[in-house]
Structures are given as structure tokens and as C-alpha cells.
Amino acid sequence: MLSLWACAPAPELLTDGQLSAALAVAAEVDTTRLTNDVARMVEAHAADPGEVRAPWDRPHKRRAGEATLTAALNELGLTVTVEDDSGDGWEIHNLIVEFPGVSRPDEVVLVTAHYDVWYQGADDNSSGVAVLLELARALIGKETARTVRIVAFDAEEVGLIGSARYFRRHINDDVRLVINMDSVGFASTEAGSQVAPPGFTLPDVGDFIVLMANDVAAREALVLGQLAGALPEPLALQGAVGSDDHRSPGTGDFHRSDHSQAWTQGTPGLFLTDTTNFRNEHYHTETDLPETLDYGFLTQVGQLVVAGAWAIADEEDAE
């Protein structure tokens, strides 16, 4: 079952106090830092020769990005845990930073993006990584009821390997929500800039973010819808709630990132994307460069993710 919701005002699920608190934290998201972090990641990837493996005939780059992201988090005074996992010819390094909850630390809000790329990977996925860094900065020195865990996944581009291993290892964690980002910085105001995947009807102007949820995250999707409309510059959002499997019309294309591993386990998960190849002609090419991104749009997405993570992590009601 797939249902679409967009444009209409989202239900007011957050109280005025919760909304204000989430927006106050989101206001710390900074456009200049996002711009600089994308450039820093792209510079690292550009200097990395990467590896070409069959059947992919393009350079897959990981280790320079891993080192650069780790350094950026360390510069913030944060400890990065590297979860190593070997097997089937792949040495996987998932990067984890955790902000423990003060009253319900076993309940986790997981915010994720992959750091591996093809070519330089500005939109896919240095944009998502830059938002992870802004979330980390925003959480420093603050307390939430639930734990917020930031995870940068390895090897998404070659079959979701990093996230598959992560979710298998953490299958018993009490994850209340996954918020996954993959390509969130490309927007256009041109007519005809957006096409829709099978099963969807979308506006033909690519100036919105898509938010996909599985059934058990329907409420949280609406919370983010409320927040998107309440941002200082409201973010246009197109949302859908569908099943966890790959068979429902329209959902197959949106299992193409790391949240799919959470959905497969029945874990509540949200996926934010600018729709990649349905909008961005630079997707998976050497022209996926920083100058192609819309940093005002990326700032709005960053604000939404920070506000959403905060709102869910600091909910008063544990249920």
C-alpha cells in the first residue's frame, strides 16, 4: 500500500513548546559550514584514486572520505567509533558518533548517510555527510531524552554493504527512528527539471525534498512535515508512506539507500532525497561537483533533519 501526501498542511503533532525547541536547535545549521564541508569532502574524494571493481566501470572512493570525515568530527572534540567488518572481499568501516540520552539512553534515534562515492560525489553523498556534521555540531553540549546516534555508512554504492552489516550487528537495538539522507543538495526552479519514478506523480519543478517512510514511521513522517512547514523558510516536501518490502508500486526506487536495511527489519525509517537521477543530470558522473548544488536548499534540508532528530529524541512520552 502506497499513499502520497504533499503540499497540504501537516497535522500538528508537536506542541508549541516542542516545535519551538526543535526549531531553535535547527537554527544553528549554517550555510557557510555546509558549503565548506561539501567542498572538503569533494576535495578528499578527488585526491583518492579509488578502486574500480566489476561490474562497476567507475572509481569507487572511500578511504580518503573516511579519513576526512573522521578528522572533521575529531576537530569538534567528538570521539568516532569505527565498526570494522570484514567478509566477502569487503573491509567495511562504519563511523559512529553517539550522544547518549539522559533519561532513556537505550532508545535510539539513528541519523545516517553514506560517505562512499563514485567520482567526487558532491550531491551523492557529500551533501548528506555535511548535514551529519551540522547535526553533530548542534548536539554538542545539549541533552535529549533518547540517544542520538550518527552513523556514516561505508560501501552504500556497491549494494548497501555497510548498512546491511550495521543493522545485522545492531538488530537488538531499540531504534525508535532512522533518518537516512542520500543526495539532498540538488534543486532546480526550471520547469521540466523533475521527472517521477514509476508509481509516482510529482511536480515537474525539482525544488522540493522527497520524504519516504515505511508504515511504522508514518507518524514521524508527519512530524517532519509539520517541521518543514514551520522552518523560517518553509521547505517544500513531497512525502509517501509505503510498505517495507521492495514489491509495492513506487517503493522499489526508494529502497536504493541505506534506510532499506532498517525497513527490511521493520524498524521505523525515513528517507530524504532530492530524487537523484530523476532530477540531477550529474548523478554518478564526474560532474557531480560542489558548484552544481543549491546551498540554500541544502540548508533547509539540514534544518529539517536537525529539527526532526531533536523532536523525536526529546519527546516526553516514551511510547
Domain ranges of the chain: 3-313
**Torsion of Cα atoms, 215 then 209 then 25 then 73, to 10°:** 100
The Cα 43–Cα 98 span in angstroms is 27
Class in CATH terms, 3-313: alpha beta
pLDDT at position 206? 97
Q: Name which of 304, 309, 298, 288 is nearest 119 in CA terms.
A: 288
pTM: 0.94
pLDDT at position 317? 58
Q: Name which of 235, 48, 26, 51 is nearest 134 in CA terms.
A: 26
Low-confidence ranges of the chain (pLDDT < 70): 1-11, 243-253, 317-319
pLDDT at position 7? 46
pLDDT at position 246? 56
